[in-house]
Structure 1
Amino acid sequence: MSVAPSSDDRVARITKAIRVIPDFPKPGILFQDITTLLLDPLAFKDTIDLFVERYKDKDISVVAHGLIFGFAYAGVEARGFIFGPPIALAIGAKFVPMRKPNKLPGPVISEEYSLEYGTDKIEMHVGAVQEGERALVIDDLIATGGTLCAAISLLERVGVKVVECACVIELPELKGRDRLGDKPLFVLVS
Protein backbone atom coordinates (compact mmCIF):
# COMPACT_ATOMS: atom_id res chain seq x y z
CA MET A 1 0.00 0.00 0.00
CA SER A 2 1.33 3.38 -0.90
CA VAL A 3 -0.18 6.74 -0.12
CA ALA A 4 1.43 10.14 -0.61
CA PRO A 5 2.84 11.43 2.69
CA SER A 6 0.21 13.40 4.58
CA SER A 7 3.00 15.63 5.88
CA ASP A 8 3.42 17.03 2.35
CA ASP A 9 1.60 20.38 2.17
CA ARG A 10 0.63 19.59 -1.40
CA VAL A 11 -1.51 16.64 -0.30
CA ALA A 12 -3.43 18.88 2.11
CA ARG A 13 -3.99 21.42 -0.68
CA ILE A 14 -5.24 18.69 -3.04
CA THR A 15 -7.55 17.25 -0.39
CA LYS A 16 -9.00 20.66 0.37
CA ALA A 17 -9.61 21.32 -3.33
CA ILE A 18 -11.77 18.20 -3.84
CA ARG A 19 -15.46 18.87 -3.30
CA VAL A 20 -17.65 16.13 -1.86
CA ILE A 21 -21.25 16.12 -3.10
CA PRO A 22 -23.68 13.98 -1.10
CA ASP A 23 -26.31 11.86 -2.84
CA PHE A 24 -24.88 12.21 -6.34
CA PRO A 25 -25.50 10.58 -8.74
CA LYS A 26 -27.91 8.69 -6.48
CA PRO A 27 -28.86 8.65 -2.79
CA GLY A 28 -26.16 7.31 -0.48
CA ILE A 29 -23.21 8.16 -2.75
CA LEU A 30 -20.66 10.75 -1.62
CA PHE A 31 -19.36 11.89 -5.00
CA GLN A 32 -15.73 13.02 -5.04
CA ASP A 33 -15.80 15.95 -7.45
CA ILE A 34 -12.37 16.73 -8.89
CA THR A 35 -13.65 19.59 -11.04
CA THR A 36 -13.00 21.91 -8.10
CA LEU A 37 -9.42 20.60 -7.98
CA LEU A 38 -9.05 21.58 -11.63
CA LEU A 39 -10.22 25.10 -10.81
CA ASP A 40 -7.32 25.50 -8.40
CA PRO A 41 -4.18 25.81 -10.58
CA LEU A 42 -1.79 25.25 -7.67
CA ALA A 43 -3.60 22.14 -6.38
CA PHE A 44 -3.87 20.76 -9.93
CA LYS A 45 -0.16 21.37 -10.50
CA ASP A 46 0.62 19.73 -7.15
CA THR A 47 -1.33 16.66 -8.27
CA ILE A 48 0.60 16.33 -11.51
CA ASP A 49 3.93 17.09 -9.79
CA LEU A 50 3.46 14.40 -7.13
CA PHE A 51 2.79 11.77 -9.77
CA VAL A 52 5.68 12.93 -11.97
CA GLU A 53 8.09 12.88 -9.01
CA ARG A 54 7.07 9.31 -8.25
CA TYR A 55 7.29 7.96 -11.81
CA LYS A 56 9.99 9.98 -13.59
CA ASP A 57 12.75 7.44 -12.92
CA LYS A 58 10.76 4.20 -13.19
CA ASP A 59 11.39 3.54 -16.90
CA ILE A 60 7.71 3.77 -17.79
CA SER A 61 6.98 3.86 -21.52
CA VAL A 62 3.16 3.91 -21.38
CA VAL A 63 0.71 5.85 -19.28
CA ALA A 64 -2.67 4.23 -19.73
CA HIS A 65 -5.93 5.53 -18.49
CA GLY A 66 -8.44 3.05 -17.16
CA LEU A 67 -12.09 3.86 -16.86
CA ILE A 68 -13.31 4.00 -13.34
CA PHE A 69 -16.38 3.16 -11.34
CA GLY A 70 -19.88 3.11 -12.57
CA PHE A 71 -20.58 6.79 -12.92
CA ALA A 72 -18.87 6.45 -16.15
CA TYR A 73 -16.07 8.75 -15.99
CA ALA A 74 -18.12 11.04 -17.87
CA GLY A 75 -15.51 10.76 -15.69
CA VAL A 76 -13.99 7.52 -16.71
CA GLU A 77 -13.01 8.84 -19.99
CA ALA A 78 -12.96 12.51 -19.29
CA ARG A 79 -11.55 12.84 -15.79
CA GLY A 80 -8.67 10.40 -16.03
CA PHE A 81 -7.72 11.91 -19.37
CA ILE A 82 -7.03 15.13 -17.51
CA PHE A 83 -4.22 13.58 -15.45
CA GLY A 84 -2.69 11.02 -17.81
CA PRO A 85 -1.42 13.17 -20.70
CA PRO A 86 0.54 15.76 -18.66
CA ILE A 87 2.12 12.99 -16.59
CA ALA A 88 3.01 11.03 -19.73
CA LEU A 89 4.58 14.11 -21.33
CA ALA A 90 6.58 14.96 -18.22
CA ILE A 91 8.06 11.48 -17.87
CA GLY A 92 8.63 10.93 -21.60
CA ALA A 93 5.99 8.24 -22.07
CA LYS A 94 3.13 7.83 -24.50
CA PHE A 95 -0.48 8.14 -23.36
CA VAL A 96 -2.89 5.36 -24.26
CA PRO A 97 -6.60 5.99 -23.66
CA MET A 98 -8.84 3.12 -22.67
CA ARG A 99 -12.45 3.88 -23.44
CA LYS A 100 -15.94 2.51 -23.23
CA PRO A 101 -17.15 0.50 -26.26
CA ASN A 102 -17.54 2.17 -29.65
CA LYS A 103 -15.62 5.34 -28.71
CA LEU A 104 -12.34 4.52 -30.48
CA PRO A 105 -12.14 4.37 -34.29
CA GLY A 106 -10.38 1.48 -35.95
CA PRO A 107 -9.54 -1.98 -34.64
CA VAL A 108 -9.67 -2.41 -30.86
CA ILE A 109 -9.17 -5.09 -28.26
CA SER A 110 -11.49 -5.18 -25.29
CA GLU A 111 -11.84 -6.47 -21.77
CA GLU A 112 -15.14 -7.07 -20.02
CA TYR A 113 -15.39 -6.51 -16.28
CA SER A 114 -17.98 -6.87 -13.54
CA LEU A 115 -19.73 -4.05 -11.78
CA GLU A 116 -21.93 -4.33 -8.73
CA TYR A 117 -24.92 -3.91 -11.07
CA GLY A 118 -23.82 -5.79 -14.20
CA THR A 119 -20.90 -5.77 -16.61
CA ASP A 120 -19.10 -3.23 -18.75
CA LYS A 121 -16.21 -3.22 -21.19
CA ILE A 122 -13.14 -1.13 -21.94
CA GLU A 123 -11.34 -0.94 -25.25
CA MET A 124 -7.89 0.05 -26.48
CA HIS A 125 -6.56 0.45 -30.01
CA VAL A 126 -4.81 -2.58 -31.44
CA GLY A 127 -1.09 -1.79 -31.61
CA ALA A 128 -1.24 1.09 -29.11
CA VAL A 129 1.17 -0.79 -26.85
CA GLN A 130 3.90 -3.29 -27.56
CA GLU A 131 4.94 -6.44 -25.77
CA GLY A 132 7.58 -5.68 -23.13
CA GLU A 133 6.56 -2.07 -22.53
CA ARG A 134 6.17 -0.86 -18.94
CA ALA A 135 2.91 0.84 -18.05
CA LEU A 136 1.42 3.05 -15.38
CA VAL A 137 -2.37 2.84 -15.18
CA ILE A 138 -3.81 6.11 -13.90
CA ASP A 139 -7.25 7.26 -12.92
CA ASP A 140 -8.85 9.91 -10.79
CA LEU A 141 -10.48 7.51 -8.33
CA ILE A 142 -10.43 3.89 -7.21
CA ALA A 143 -13.68 2.60 -5.77
CA THR A 144 -14.45 -1.09 -6.32
CA GLY A 145 -11.35 -1.62 -8.50
CA GLY A 146 -13.15 -3.39 -11.34
CA THR A 147 -12.09 -1.06 -14.11
CA LEU A 148 -8.47 -0.84 -12.95
CA CYS A 149 -8.37 -4.65 -12.94
CA ALA A 150 -9.80 -4.69 -16.46
CA ALA A 151 -7.18 -2.20 -17.63
CA ILE A 152 -4.40 -4.30 -16.07
CA SER A 153 -5.77 -7.46 -17.66
CA LEU A 154 -6.05 -5.82 -21.08
CA LEU A 155 -2.48 -4.55 -20.97
CA GLU A 156 -1.04 -7.80 -19.64
CA ARG A 157 -2.89 -9.77 -22.32
CA VAL A 158 -0.72 -8.06 -24.94
CA GLY A 159 2.51 -8.51 -22.98
CA VAL A 160 2.80 -5.15 -21.21
CA LYS A 161 4.16 -5.07 -17.66
CA VAL A 162 1.97 -2.95 -15.41
CA VAL A 163 4.39 -1.28 -13.00
CA GLU A 164 1.80 0.40 -10.80
CA CYS A 165 -1.68 1.89 -10.67
CA ALA A 166 -2.12 5.47 -9.50
CA CYS A 167 -5.22 7.37 -8.45
CA VAL A 168 -5.84 10.81 -7.06
CA ILE A 169 -8.54 9.49 -4.67
CA GLU A 170 -9.20 6.15 -3.01
CA LEU A 171 -12.49 5.17 -1.42
CA PRO A 172 -11.03 2.51 0.92
CA GLU A 173 -14.41 1.36 2.25
CA LEU A 174 -15.17 -0.09 -1.20
CA LYS A 175 -12.03 -2.29 -1.04
CA GLY A 176 -10.89 -1.72 -4.61
CA ARG A 177 -7.27 -2.08 -3.55
CA ASP A 178 -7.98 -5.68 -2.48
CA ARG A 179 -9.08 -6.58 -6.02
CA LEU A 180 -5.73 -5.48 -7.47
CA GLY A 181 -3.95 -8.43 -5.85
CA ASP A 182 -0.20 -7.91 -5.96
CA LYS A 183 -0.34 -4.84 -8.24
CA PRO A 184 0.91 -1.77 -6.38
CA LEU A 185 -1.43 1.19 -6.00
CA PHE A 186 -0.37 4.74 -5.21
CA VAL A 187 -2.96 7.29 -4.12
CA LEU A 188 -2.77 10.91 -3.10
CA VAL A 189 -5.98 11.21 -1.05
CA SER A 190 -7.63 8.40 0.88
Structure 2
Amino acid sequence: MVIMTLSAAETAMWRLVQRYTGRVGYRRGAKVEGLLENPPVIDCSGWTGLLLTQAMCAENNAAGHIMFSDTHIRTMQACSDRIIQEIAVRTGYTLAGSEINACSLPRCATIGLKMGAPGWAANHPRVRGVTHIVQIVRRPEDDVPFVSESFGDPVRPGISLTSLADWLVRSQPLLQADALWAVDAFRLASAN
Protein backbone atom coordinates (compact mmCIF):
# COMPACT_ATOMS: atom_id res chain seq x y z
CA MET A 1 0.00 0.00 0.00
CA VAL A 2 1.29 3.46 -0.96
CA ILE A 3 0.99 6.16 1.71
CA MET A 4 0.62 9.62 0.22
CA THR A 5 1.16 12.89 2.04
CA LEU A 6 -1.85 15.05 1.45
CA SER A 7 -1.91 18.80 1.79
CA ALA A 8 -3.67 20.35 4.76
CA ALA A 9 -6.48 21.31 2.37
CA GLU A 10 -6.99 17.77 1.13
CA THR A 11 -6.92 16.39 4.67
CA ALA A 12 -9.48 18.95 5.85
CA MET A 13 -11.85 18.07 3.01
CA TRP A 14 -11.50 14.34 3.60
CA ARG A 15 -12.32 14.77 7.30
CA LEU A 16 -15.52 16.63 6.40
CA VAL A 17 -16.43 13.94 3.87
CA GLN A 18 -15.93 11.22 6.49
CA ARG A 19 -17.97 13.14 9.05
CA TYR A 20 -21.00 14.00 6.89
CA THR A 21 -21.32 11.53 3.97
CA GLY A 22 -24.52 9.52 4.29
CA ARG A 23 -25.52 11.46 7.42
CA VAL A 24 -26.77 14.73 5.92
CA GLY A 25 -29.79 15.20 3.67
CA TYR A 26 -30.33 17.60 0.80
CA ARG A 27 -32.48 20.72 0.77
CA ARG A 28 -32.20 23.38 -1.95
CA GLY A 29 -31.07 26.68 -0.49
CA ALA A 30 -29.71 25.14 2.74
CA LYS A 31 -26.17 26.31 3.42
CA VAL A 32 -23.80 25.44 6.27
CA GLU A 33 -26.39 26.49 8.89
CA GLY A 34 -28.48 23.53 7.70
CA LEU A 35 -25.98 21.18 9.33
CA LEU A 36 -27.32 22.39 12.70
CA GLU A 37 -30.89 21.36 11.88
CA ASN A 38 -32.43 18.08 12.97
CA PRO A 39 -32.07 16.21 10.69
CA PRO A 40 -29.14 18.08 9.10
CA VAL A 41 -29.43 19.26 5.47
CA ILE A 42 -27.31 21.17 2.96
CA ASP A 43 -27.48 21.93 -0.76
CA CYS A 44 -24.74 21.40 -3.36
CA SER A 45 -23.18 24.86 -3.19
CA GLY A 46 -23.40 24.93 0.60
CA TRP A 47 -21.52 21.63 0.76
CA THR A 48 -18.87 22.51 -1.84
CA GLY A 49 -18.46 25.94 -0.26
CA LEU A 50 -17.89 24.36 3.15
CA LEU A 51 -15.31 21.93 1.73
CA LEU A 52 -13.43 24.74 0.00
CA THR A 53 -13.52 27.27 2.83
CA GLN A 54 -12.34 24.70 5.37
CA ALA A 55 -9.60 23.58 2.97
CA MET A 56 -8.40 27.15 2.42
CA CYS A 57 -8.37 27.90 6.14
CA ALA A 58 -6.42 24.68 6.79
CA GLU A 59 -3.81 25.67 4.18
CA ASN A 60 -3.49 29.13 5.72
CA ASN A 61 -2.99 27.61 9.18
CA ALA A 62 -0.46 25.03 7.94
CA ALA A 63 1.55 27.64 6.04
CA GLY A 64 1.59 30.06 8.95
CA HIS A 65 0.72 32.90 6.60
CA ILE A 66 -2.11 33.96 4.28
CA MET A 67 -2.24 31.83 1.15
CA PHE A 68 -5.96 32.42 0.61
CA SER A 69 -7.32 35.87 1.42
CA ASP A 70 -10.57 36.49 3.28
CA THR A 71 -11.99 37.64 -0.06
CA HIS A 72 -11.11 34.31 -1.70
CA ILE A 73 -12.64 32.40 1.19
CA ARG A 74 -15.86 34.47 1.14
CA THR A 75 -16.12 33.88 -2.62
CA MET A 76 -16.73 30.18 -1.90
CA GLN A 77 -19.93 31.03 -0.01
CA ALA A 78 -22.20 31.55 -3.01
CA CYS A 79 -24.48 29.63 -5.35
CA SER A 80 -22.99 26.99 -7.65
CA ASP A 81 -22.64 29.10 -10.79
CA ARG A 82 -21.07 32.00 -8.88
CA ILE A 83 -18.47 29.75 -7.23
CA ILE A 84 -17.44 28.38 -10.64
CA GLN A 85 -17.48 31.84 -12.24
CA GLU A 86 -15.46 33.55 -9.48
CA ILE A 87 -12.77 30.85 -9.45
CA ALA A 88 -12.56 30.86 -13.26
CA VAL A 89 -12.25 34.65 -13.49
CA ARG A 90 -9.78 34.97 -10.61
CA THR A 91 -7.49 32.15 -11.81
CA GLY A 92 -7.93 32.36 -15.58
CA TYR A 93 -8.28 28.56 -15.64
CA THR A 94 -11.27 26.50 -16.80
CA LEU A 95 -11.71 23.11 -18.44
CA ALA A 96 -14.94 22.67 -20.36
CA GLY A 97 -16.91 19.69 -21.63
CA SER A 98 -14.76 17.24 -23.58
CA GLU A 99 -11.56 18.71 -22.08
CA ILE A 100 -12.56 17.12 -18.78
CA ASN A 101 -11.21 13.64 -18.04
CA ALA A 102 -9.45 11.84 -15.19
CA CYS A 103 -6.01 12.91 -16.44
CA SER A 104 -6.77 16.56 -17.20
CA LEU A 105 -8.55 17.44 -13.96
CA PRO A 106 -6.62 19.24 -11.21
CA ARG A 107 -6.13 17.18 -8.02
CA CYS A 108 -9.03 18.84 -6.22
CA ALA A 109 -11.08 20.33 -9.02
CA THR A 110 -14.47 21.92 -8.47
CA ILE A 111 -16.94 21.06 -11.23
CA GLY A 112 -20.09 22.93 -12.21
CA LEU A 113 -22.83 21.13 -14.13
CA LYS A 114 -25.69 22.36 -16.28
CA MET A 115 -28.38 19.85 -15.38
CA GLY A 116 -31.39 20.82 -17.43
CA ALA A 117 -33.49 23.89 -16.76
CA PRO A 118 -35.25 23.47 -13.40
CA GLY A 119 -38.27 25.66 -12.77
CA TRP A 120 -36.62 27.47 -9.88
CA ALA A 121 -33.85 28.69 -12.21
CA ALA A 122 -36.32 30.62 -14.41
CA ASN A 123 -36.25 33.59 -12.03
CA HIS A 124 -32.59 33.12 -11.13
CA PRO A 125 -30.52 33.10 -14.35
CA ARG A 126 -27.32 31.12 -13.93
CA VAL A 127 -23.90 31.79 -15.47
CA ARG A 128 -23.40 29.04 -18.10
CA GLY A 129 -26.66 27.53 -16.83
CA VAL A 130 -24.80 25.84 -13.94
CA THR A 131 -27.32 24.38 -11.50
CA HIS A 132 -25.15 21.86 -9.62
CA ILE A 133 -21.61 21.75 -8.23
CA VAL A 134 -19.34 18.94 -6.99
CA GLN A 135 -15.88 18.72 -5.43
CA ILE A 136 -13.06 16.23 -6.03
CA VAL A 137 -11.52 14.96 -2.80
CA ARG A 138 -8.71 12.47 -2.18
CA ARG A 139 -8.67 9.41 0.08
CA PRO A 140 -5.54 9.64 2.27
CA GLU A 141 -4.69 5.92 2.28
CA ASP A 142 -4.15 5.63 -1.47
CA ASP A 143 -4.73 9.10 -3.02
CA VAL A 144 -7.73 7.80 -4.98
CA PRO A 145 -9.97 10.66 -6.22
CA PHE A 146 -13.65 10.79 -5.35
CA VAL A 147 -16.47 13.18 -6.13
CA SER A 148 -18.26 14.54 -3.08
CA GLU A 149 -21.62 16.20 -3.59
CA SER A 150 -24.93 17.00 -1.98
CA PHE A 151 -27.71 16.15 -4.38
CA GLY A 152 -31.50 15.97 -4.31
CA ASP A 153 -31.62 12.44 -5.72
CA PRO A 154 -34.93 10.82 -4.68
CA VAL A 155 -33.16 7.49 -4.06
CA ARG A 156 -30.08 8.78 -2.16
CA PRO A 157 -30.61 12.42 -1.27
CA GLY A 158 -27.88 14.30 0.52
CA ILE A 159 -24.12 14.09 0.76
CA SER A 160 -22.62 11.19 -1.16
CA LEU A 161 -19.22 10.01 -2.31
CA THR A 162 -18.55 8.41 -5.71
CA SER A 163 -15.26 7.34 -7.25
CA LEU A 164 -14.15 9.85 -9.88
CA ALA A 165 -13.98 7.07 -12.48
CA ASP A 166 -17.62 6.06 -11.87
CA TRP A 167 -18.76 9.68 -11.73
CA LEU A 168 -17.12 10.46 -15.10
CA VAL A 169 -18.83 7.44 -16.70
CA ARG A 170 -22.19 8.56 -15.29
CA SER A 171 -21.54 12.12 -16.51
CA GLN A 172 -20.76 11.22 -20.15
CA PRO A 173 -23.99 12.76 -21.54
CA LEU A 174 -23.13 16.09 -19.86
CA LEU A 175 -19.50 15.90 -21.00
CA GLN A 176 -20.58 15.28 -24.59
CA ALA A 177 -23.06 18.17 -24.38
CA ASP A 178 -20.32 20.53 -23.08
CA ALA A 179 -22.42 21.05 -19.94
CA LEU A 180 -19.59 20.71 -17.37
CA TRP A 181 -16.89 23.19 -16.31
CA ALA A 182 -13.96 22.39 -14.03
CA VAL A 183 -12.00 25.01 -12.10
CA ASP A 184 -9.21 24.87 -9.52
CA ALA A 185 -9.80 26.95 -6.39
CA PHE A 186 -6.31 26.13 -5.13
CA ARG A 187 -4.78 28.21 -7.92
CA LEU A 188 -6.08 31.19 -5.96
CA ALA A 189 -3.11 30.71 -3.61
CA SER A 190 -0.75 31.81 -6.36
CA ALA A 191 -2.88 34.92 -6.89
CA ASN A 192 -1.99 36.11 -3.37
Larger helix proportion, structure 1 or 2?
2
Q: With the length of structure 2 as denominator, give the TM-score of the two structures.
A: 0.30
The answer to which structure, 1 or 2, has the higher relative contact order (CA under 8 A, 6+ apart) is 2
Q: With the length of structure 1 as denominator, give the TM-score of the two structures.
A: 0.31
